[in-house]
Amino acid sequence: MRNVKIYWSSMTTRSASSNRNASRSRKLALPYTTVDVVIFTVLDDALQVLLVQRRGDGDEPFPGRWALPGGFVDVEADSSLEDCARRKLEDKTGVASPYLEQLGSWGSSTRDPRGWSATHVYFTLIPGQDVSLVKGANAADVAWFKVDEVLHPRGLAFDHDDILQSAVERLRGKVEYTSLPAFLLPEPFTLPQLQRMYEVVLGRPVDKSGFRTRMLAGRFLEEVGYADGESNRPAKGYRLIDRLSLVVFPRTFSPRGAD
Amino acid sequence: MRNVKIYWSSMTTRSASSNRNASRSRKLALPYTTVDVVIFTVLDDALQVLLVQRRGDGDEPFPGRWALPGGFVDVEADSSLEDCARRKLEDKTGVASPYLEQLGSWGSSTRDPRGWSATHVYFTLIPGQDVSLVKGANAADVAWFKVDEVLHPRGLAFDHDDILQSAVERLRGKVEYTSLPAFLLPEPFTLPQLQRMYEVVLGRPVDKSGFRTRMLAGRFLEEVGYADGESNRPAKGYRLIDRLSLVVFPRTFSPRGAD
DNA sequence: CCAATAGTGTCTTTCAGACAGTATCAC
DNA sequence: GTGATACTGTCTGAAAGACACTATTGG
C-alpha cells in the first residue's frame, strides 16, 4: 500500500512561479549545463587522451589543473548537445570527427565548486597523426597524455578522473566486439596496422589469423590499392565503407568467462 | 594546418561576467535541466512502460499528453542526477528499485517549447506485481502501457518517443547477454518464470536447456526453497545473490551474424 | 494410469584459438 | 639465396542450438 503523487513534483513547483517562456528572472535556481569530450588517439604505441590546462589566473576553479576539453552549453550558439560537443572537438583538434558517441552524464551539487552542475560527456577516437600538427603549432595548454599515466596518480580537475575512467572502460569494453579502433587510423590503412590498434587499446596481443577473419567477415572494409611497403611484402590498403557507423561482431575477442 | 583556440570558448565568455559563486542574476541564459525515468515491467506477458499524463489545464506544454515520468532537477533537494531519478521513480511507483541505469541525455533548443533544455534519462526494471496495487489506489494519470502500442503510433510529449525507442533498443540489446530480466521478477522466482521474462522482452522463444545452463553458469542465483506449484512438478525457487549488479554473459543468446 | 510442467542428457554444428605453413617484397 | 613481413590453411576444443529423454507433482 504505497502512496502516489499525481503531478510531477518539480514541474508543479516550477509552474507555480507562473512564467512560461521567460528563461531569465526566475525563482528556481538552474544547474549549470556543460559538455565535455573525451578524445582518444593512439600515439607512440600507447592510448592517449587530449587534455586542456585550465587557466592559472582569474577566479575559475581548479586553476592550472588539466581537464577534459569542454565547457558550458551556449544557448545561442549550440542547437543541441551533440552539436556543442562537435564544436568543442573541432576547436581543440581541428578534426571534424564523424564518430562521436555519448558516454553519459555526471551531475551533482558538489562536482563544481561554483554550484550544482551537470555535464554531458561524449567520446571520440581520432587518428593521432592528423592532430600532432595542430599541437605543434600551439602553446602548452593542449596536449596528449598517456591514459595510464593520467589515471594513476589521478589529478584532473572536477570529477574528470572518474569520467575518464568510465570512458576508458567503455572503450576497452567495446573494442572487444566492435570495429571502433578503425577510427584511430587515417585512411587507407592495412590490416596489420588495424590489428596494432586493437592490441594497443586492449593491452594484449591478438591472433593474426582470427583477427583477419573477423575483420573481413564484418564487411565494413573495402580494398583500396596497396600500402607502399618498407622492404617486405606490401599490405593491402583498406578504408571504411561507412565512416559513421560501428560494426558489432557477434562475439567478443576472448571470452573471459574463465573461472 | 588548423587553428586552435586556447581557452574554453564558453568558459571564457562566462567568466567575463565575473561572478563566480553567484548562481542567479547572470547574463548567460542557462538551459533547463531535467531528469526522466523509463520504467519497464512485464505484465500480461507484455513489456510495458510507465507513463504519466500531463495536466490538461495551466500553461504547461503538451497538455493532456502522456509522457515519461520526470521533471526538473531541484537544486535544493537533489544531491545528484541519480538521486533525482531515484526519487522520481519512487514517487510514481513506491518502489525503491536497486537497479537504475543511465540511458543517456537529450538536449537541444527545440525539444521543449519553453526553451533550451537537456534531460538526463535513466531506466529501470521492476516487478510488475509490486506496482499494480499502487496504480489501483490512484487516479488515471499514472498507468502502464504496452511498449509496442506506445511506439506506433507515436504520440508522447516532448521527444519522449525517441527516448523510449532508445530505451527499448538498449533493453533488448542487453537482454541478449545479461541477467537484466531478473529484475522484472519478485523474489523468489523460478527458472521457468525467468525464462518467460526473457522470451517476452526478446519476443521470441528461448531454448530451455541452453537457458538453464547459462543462468546457472552465471553464478548469480542462489536457491531458496521450492515454489508452491499448481498441479505439477514444483520448481526450485531462486533469488539474486546481488540485487544491485548485472551479470554479463560471454556470448549473446543467438548470434545474429546471419547474412 | 494421464496430464502438465520441471529438469537433464546427448548429438551436432559452429567457430574462436593456436600455430604451422606459404607468398611477396628488398637486399 | 636471407630476412622480414603479409597472408592462408588446418587442426582442435569449447560451447551453443536442437531436441529427445527422464523426474515429480496432482488428479
In tens, the pLDDT along B24-70 reads: 344 578 999 999 999 999 999 999 999 999 988 778 899 999 999 99
The model's pLDDT over B199-254, given as tens digits with 9 standing for 90+, comes to: 999 999 999 999 999 999 999 999 998 877 677 899 999 999 998 889 988 777 75
The model's pLDDT over A122-168, given as tens digits with 9 standing for 90+, comes to: 999 999 877 754 544 444 589 999 999 999 999 999 999 999 999 99
On whether both B206 and B149 belong to a single domain, the answer is no
Percent share of chain B, pLDDT over 90: 67
CATH of the domain at B124: 3.90.79.10
On whether both A139 and A168 belong to a single domain, the answer is yes
Please report, rounded to whole angstroms, the spatial distance between the CA atom of protein residue B101 and the C1' atom of nucleotide D5.
Answer: 47
Inside any domain, residue B255? no
On whether both A170 and A183 belong to a single domain, the answer is no
On whether both B82 and B153 belong to a single domain, the answer is yes
For CA atoms A241, A242, A248, A250, the dihedral sign is negative
| Whole-number Å distance between alpha carbons of B78 and B99 | 19
Inside any domain, residue B18? no
According to the model, what pLDDT value does residue A139 have? Answer: 46
According to the model, what pLDDT value does residue B231 have? Answer: 74
- Identity (one letter) of the amino acid at A195? Q
CB B68 within 8 A of CB B156: yes
Q: C-alpha grid cell for residue B115?
A: 526553451
Q: Which of residues 210-239 of A touch strand C (CB under 7 A)?
A: 210, 213-214, 229, 231-234
Inside any domain, residue B59? yes
Cα dist. B225→A109, A110, B127, B206, B237 in Å? Answer: 45, 46, 20, 25, 5
Q: A58 to chain B, minimum CA–CA distance in Å? A: 9
Return the nearest residue to C10, CA–C1': B209
* A92–B5 CB contact, under 8 Å: yes
On whether both B36 and B164 belong to a single domain, the answer is yes
According to the model, what pLDDT value does residue A2 have? Answer: 35
Q: How many CB atoms lie within 10 A of CB A117?
A: 21
Boundary residue ending a domain (B159, B174, B189):
B174
Cα dist. A75→A20, A121, A171 in Å? Answer: 17, 17, 30
Which residue in A60, A81, A259 is closest to B105 by CB distance? Answer: A81
Q: Which residues of B touch A105 (CB under 8 A)?
A: 81, 102, 104-105, 120
Residue B140 pLDDT class (50, 70, 90 cuts): low
Boundary residue ending a domain (B146, B174, B202):
B174
* B33–A28 CB contact, under 8 Å: no
Residues of chain A where predicted confidence (pLDDT) is lower than 50 = 1-26, 133, 135-139, 255-259
Inside any domain, residue B23? no
Q: How many CB atoms lie within 10 A of CB B39?
A: 25
DSSP 8-state secondary structure symbol assigned to residue B184: G
On whether both A166 and A200 belong to a single domain, the answer is no
The H-or-E segment that residue B119 falls in is strand B117-125
According to the model, what pLDDT value does residue B137 have? Answer: 43
Please report, rounded to whole angstroms, the spatial distance between the CA atom of protein residue A251 and the C1' atom of nucleotide C24.
Answer: 33
Q: Which residues of B touch A94 (CB under 8 A)?
A: 2-4
CB of B174 within 7 Å of some strand C atom: no
Q: Which of residues 218-247 of B touch strand C (CB under 7 A)?
A: 229-236
On whether both B220 and B96 belong to a single domain, the answer is no
Residue B132 pLDDT class (50, 70, 90 cuts): low
Please report, rounded to whole angstroms, the spatial distance between the CA atom of protein residue B239 and the C1' atom of nucleotide C4.
Answer: 25
Q: Which residues of A touch B144 (CB under 8 A)?
A: none
Q: How many domains does chain A fold into?
A: 2
H helices of chain A, in order, are 9-15, 81-93, 128-136, 147-151, 160-175, 191-202, 208-217
On whether both B194 and B70 belong to a single domain, the answer is no
* B74–A7 CB contact, under 8 Å: no
Inside any domain, residue A253? no
According to the model, what pLDDT value does residue A94 have? Answer: 87
CATH of the domain at B207: 1.10.10.10
On whether both B131 and B191 belong to a single domain, the answer is no
CB of B206 within 7 Å of some strand C atom: no
B230, HSE (Cβ side, Cα atoms, 13 Å): 0
Inside any domain, residue A114? yes
Inside any domain, residue A258? no
* A8–B32 CB contact, under 8 Å: no
The b-or-e profile of A192-223 (16+ CB within 10 A means b, else e) is ebbbbbbbbbbeeeeeeeebeebbeebebbee
On whether both B170 and B186 belong to a single domain, the answer is no
For CA atoms A50, A121, B28, A94, the dihedral sign is positive
Inside any domain, residue B252? no
Question: Residue B117: is its pLDDT beyond 70?
Answer: yes
Query: Which range marks the domain in which residue B202 is found?
Result: 176-240
On whether both B48 and B105 belong to a single domain, the answer is yes
On whether both B211 and B125 belong to a single domain, the answer is no
The model's pLDDT over B166-182, given as tens digits with 9 standing for 90+, comes to: 999 999 999 998 999 99
